[in-house]
């Protein structure tokens, strides 16, 4: 993966072994892991119950292009947690998003999707876009070989701007809004009070489907931001941690969306529909999802992890205030991130504060003191395996880095 090289320094750390909240490298150094595979290992590394489930299932067959009994348990558990009755499996959150966009366009017969500026939903063509300084939709500068001019497929508005959202949906040519409940890929940008109710209302009034992508915001709690804040999406995407780090993702839908898909599901062409994959829903991933959802990401796990993120946030806020820096630290559940500006309202404001050199300094300073932060973020994620002493150690290192910066 090209981005494994995107760390400060000439080469990445090569991992020897990971367990709980720690890993060691091949030179024998031990690290405190605040990255947790950028959410893939949010429940902690090398979970014994996942390892056992993988071993058991590997001995009974990894994939047969048929369901195993675990599918029944997993479907019921996803419905219980996230509130949508019908579920499909994918291998990655990117794939789940791709399939959901197809479903939305198929049902509504509308050509466009709407995303928020500086969102990230994986390597999804329609979402690797941004607004240029004149407000035109363009491919993100890094978007490699875009299939089409993204202005043809996508509308982009700023997060927390209801007037812009209303104008963009008024033409009734948008199949769905694809949204993280809070932006988590340009620092953390929280929704303003009432934003989600208005988003739901505007999408309903314009016949636009609402897709909530909880791949990162599962950090909020066992049912994600959706359950914690009573959101009511038409489609729902979850990936990364749900199988304890084994590749797997899921997308859920309402009964109405499911009913609108019946003719598609019954069609003989379903195998070449552009939705799904040979290994989607394979027995190994399904066993790993079951083991994870049965033994992790539970209320008692968040009851340990969220206070650690609160402690991290309070500690860093104190250092930032003492140094009178114009930075902030934002928390969402067991995730927290500092950013080099006051709390932004939207992705564009957050993006304006990106400082690659400062980023590299903070990451390398921490890494040289055995703490791994998340790359392309200043994000720390907490699992039940972290401790208050881990948080305090990071705060100490962060304070020392700030001291050196302002000295």
* Burial status of residue 219 (CB atoms within 10 A of its CB: 0-12, 13-18, 19 or more): buried
Which DSSP letter does residue 3 get?
Answer: G
Which of 177, 401 has the CB closer to ligand PLP?
177
Phi, psi of 266 (to 5 degrees): -85, -10
Question: For the window 71-110, what string marks contact with ligand PLP as x by the rule CB under 6 A?
Answer: ---------------------xxx--x-------------
Question: For the window 237-266, what string marks contact with ligand PLP as x by the rule CB under 6 A?
Answer: --xx--------------------------
Q: Distance between CA atoms of 196 and 190, rounded to whole angstroms?
A: 11
Tokens of 131: 């607004």
Task: Tell how far CA 259 is from the center of its chain.
Answer: 28
Which of 196, 311 has the CB closer to ligand PLP?
196
Give the binding range for ligand PLP (CB under 6 A) out of 119-127, 194-202, 374-382, 396-404: 119-127
The answer to whether 233 and 211 are in contact (CB under 8 A) is: yes
Binding-site member from 216, 290, 311, 363 for ligand PLP (CB under 6 A): 216
Binding-site member from 180, 234, 301, 390 for ligand PLP (CB under 6 A): 180
Our finding on whether 191 is near ligand PLP (CB under 6 A) is no
Give the DSSP H/E element, type plus range, for residue 170.
helix 162-170
Task: Tell how far CA 275 is from the center of its chain.
Answer: 21
Binding-site member from 98, 110, 121, 394 for ligand PLP (CB under 6 A): 121
Binding-site member from 99, 120, 339, 385 for ligand PLP (CB under 6 A): 120
Which of 209, 391 has the CB closer to ligand PLP?
209
3-class secondary structure, 380:
strand
Residue whose C-alpha is closest to residue 207's, from 251, 154, 257, 274: 257
Which of 94, 378 has the CB closer to ligand PLP?
94
Residues in the site for ligand PLP, rule: CB under 6 A? 92-94, 97, 120-122, 180, 185, 213, 215-216, 239-240
């Amino acid at each position: 993966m090209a981005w494994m090289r995107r760390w400060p320094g000439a080469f990445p750390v090569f991992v020897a072994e990971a367990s709980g909240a720690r890993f060691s490298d091949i030179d024998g150094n031990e690290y405190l892991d605040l990255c947790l595979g950028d959410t893939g290992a949010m429940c902690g590394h090398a979970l014994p119950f996942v390892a056992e489930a993988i071993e058991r299932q590997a001995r009974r067959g990894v994939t047969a292009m048929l369901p195993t009994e675990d599918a029944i348990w997993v479907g019921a558990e996803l419905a219980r947690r996230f509130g949508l009755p019908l579920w499909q499996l994918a291998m990655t959150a990117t794939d789940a998003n791709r399939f959901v966009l197809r479903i939305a366009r198929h049902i509504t017969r509308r050509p466009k999707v709407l995303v928020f500026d500086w969102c990230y939903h994986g390597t999804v063509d329609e979402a690797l876009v941004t607004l240029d300084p004149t407000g035109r939709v363009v491919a993100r500068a890094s978007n490699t070989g875009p299939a089409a001019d993204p202005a043809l497929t996508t509308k982009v508005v700023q997060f927390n701007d209801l007037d812009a959202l209303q104008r963009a949906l008024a033409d009734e040519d948008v199949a769905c809004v694809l949204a993280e409940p809070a932006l988590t890929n340009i620092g953390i940008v929280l929704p303003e009070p009432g934003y989600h109710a208005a988003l739901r209302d505007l999408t309903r009034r314009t016949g636009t489907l609402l897709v909530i992508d909880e791949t990162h915001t599962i950090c909020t709690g066992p049912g994600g931001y959706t359950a914690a804040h009573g959101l009511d999406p038409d489609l729902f995407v979850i990936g990364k941690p749900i199988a304890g780090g084994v590749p797997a993702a899921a997308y859920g839908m309402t009964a109405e969306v499911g009913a609108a898909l019946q003719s598609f599901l019954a069609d003989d062409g379903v195998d070449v529909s552009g939705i799904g994959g040979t290994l989607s829903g394979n027995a190994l991933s399904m066993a790993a999802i079951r083991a994870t959802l049965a033994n992790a990401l539970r209320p008692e796990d968040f009851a340990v992890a969220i206070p650690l993120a609160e402690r991290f946030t309070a500690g860093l806020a104190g250092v930032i205030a003492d140094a009178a820096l114009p930075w902030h630290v934002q928390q969402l559940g067991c995730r927290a991130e500092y950013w080099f500006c006051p709390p932004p309202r939207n992705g564009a404001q957050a993006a304006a504060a990106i400082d690659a050199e400062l980023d590299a300094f903070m990451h390398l300073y921490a890494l040289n003191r055995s703490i791994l932060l998340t790359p392309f973020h200043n994000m720390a994620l907490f699992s039940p395996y972290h401790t208050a002493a881990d948080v305090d150690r990071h705060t100490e290192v962060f304070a020392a880095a700030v001291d050196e910066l302002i000295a």
